Structure 1
Amino acid sequence: MITIKDIAKEAKVSEGTVDRVLHNRGGVSKKTEAKIKKILKHHDFSVNPIASALAMKNKYFIATLIPEHNDLDLFWKSPYLGVLKAAEDVKSFGVQVTNFGYNQYDPNSYLNTFNALLETKPTAVIMVPNFSAETKKIVNQLEALNIPYLFVNIDIDGFNNIGFVGQDSYKAGYIAGKFMHLSLPNPSTFLIIQARHNITKNNAVSNRIKGFNDYFIKNKLDSTTQTLKIENLSSSTETKEKINSYLKNHPEIKGVFVPSSRIYIVVDCIEDNYLKQLECIGFDNTPQNIACLLNDSVSFLISQKPFDQGYEAIRLLTEYLLKNEISNTKHYLPIDILIKENVKYNERNEFNVVDV
């Protein structure tokens, strides 16, 4: 028997779009509506009124706990917009989504925002577990209330989350190491620049660094890595002095690896006479990072599809709420390697979407 999912796949639209056409809810272009209706007619598809009524009675409330975004750190805007898009698509299944944003550098903001979230009595929670100790406190409360939860972007072992959506961070770091080696095949020294707040809280960053180092170890290459830890990775005078002083004192460094979305800040801090001699690799297709790729100050960006992280998390948790099962507990997204020549084909337009 053909389903809404089958219709959506044939029409190349979301299931939510098909549902809006079926129930005359509007919000679909006339061209798309006509296309869907033609497919529906071809398959002699009709809505089961009993099943539809049951679906409308089942109300589920998903709450998301993800970092806030701003003009200097646009990475988290993309997962947020993915959540918004998915929230619209799952409305027809009786699922409502509410977003809660916290300061990713402040564990108290993380806990306080969660407490506000908990007051809404969610059916399930999607969260970015930025801080290990605070995550334990949050998870203990969720499990005591029998509220299922799913991790996004950062995967921490030892918890009973029903699933994870994000990048295989170790493999991504390993790939970064491989591309650094391809760029600099002779034995070289590479510098890993890491913000101190990531050292203890961000499992994804530490896994990328391990993957990067393991590439050279497992392939028995003579290249070595050094690490520069900076308290607050920003375009401040202090940060610039620290990075350039390090490069001056270590002329053997040929490449720079930034295992976070802030390589554009590092590039902005490095003096031109050093930058032109370096191969730089970073993460994420934020507008600032893409600008660095296009002006040749960054050689490669590794994209973890942040928009899809938000969208897929809502989709998978909805699947779990409706079916009491999840098809893939580790939902790893594709690892895209972006260069100057292909980045325009990878860019999404979510950064141009207006928040409402």
Structure 2
Amino acid sequence: MLQKFRLALRCLMILGVTFGTISESLSQEASFRWEPLTVEKLSNGLTVIVKENHSAPLVVSDIWFGVGSRNETSENNGVAHFLEHTLFKGTKNRGVGQIAKDIESFGGRTNAATSLDYTHYYILCESAYISNALEIQADVFHNSTLLGEVIDSERPVILEEIKRGEDDPHKMLWNTLMTNMYSNLPYKRTIIGPRENISTKISREEMLQFFRTWYGPNNMTIVIVGDINAKVVIEKVKSLFGDLSPSPLPDQSFGAEPELKAIRIVRKEMDVKNEYLLMAFRTVTPKQEEDLIGLDLLGAILGEGRTSRLSASLKENRGLVTQVSANHLTLIDDGLFLIKAEFDPIDETEVLEGIREEIR
């Protein structure tokens, strides 16, 4: 496995300030039933995935779109995340703030996230209210108003988020990595976007155009998991979302990313106590599925949990790090194998050597 991993690596970057991950383990006693998935594609291209899980009277409806910062340009970088902030603020049927009140009225919880390759929006609630949740989501994706005053009210919110990120070593490490790792692929740009785009460049018209382009049903997947009947829920989805019209998706082919010929080491000074390290190896794209399985397994062996090789060696046995982890990140156009660590700066040499020993 390690030999195969070495052959897959195309470059290495080491950054000295971490992008942390949280590893959760489920006890062996935890009840989990392997209920079958129900997958159906509607005539308008929308994909519905339903998994029944009757262990608790809860359900989540999570709507995914195949769009993220990857689909932006330098001129509108940040628009995907900006849109995520504003989309649920109001519709033709619900005024500003009413969506949140309606979800709270049946004890639901909602959130959303934008990534490099995707954006998703979910509502978690008691399973008895799944129809309410789906009706709200359908209202948003049919009737969101994206009012100019609402958009403008979110600008300072996102600008403050940018400021907080600049003070966060984890986010700064990640952004520094991606900026230096890529020169051609759009992953070189941040998800949140630059200040000037958020302040003035991204207009309501820009946001509406982005929505019309990327939020069609043919770029949409609804995932519903919980204490529900799959057939009943799918029929509900059809009635609420089946009339959405598909739209042609732009070609998003990018030229090949130049191969890095040597190790790049990037250091960034911040006013923090510890040193944060991120090693990134370029690997493979999702087309090489067999390699992805091996890389995911390797990530678990090297850096998942206290008994993983990196944690056992550097943290449990030698006490050199406060945290260390490893995982493989699969992107649409590339892949990255990541090793992260946090430690006292005086231990840098030993930590680097310890990591090298485990991946040789």
Q: TM-score, normalised by structure 1?
A: 0.23
Q: TM-score, normalised by structure 2?
A: 0.23
Kindly indicate which of the two structures has a greater share of residues assigned to helix.
1
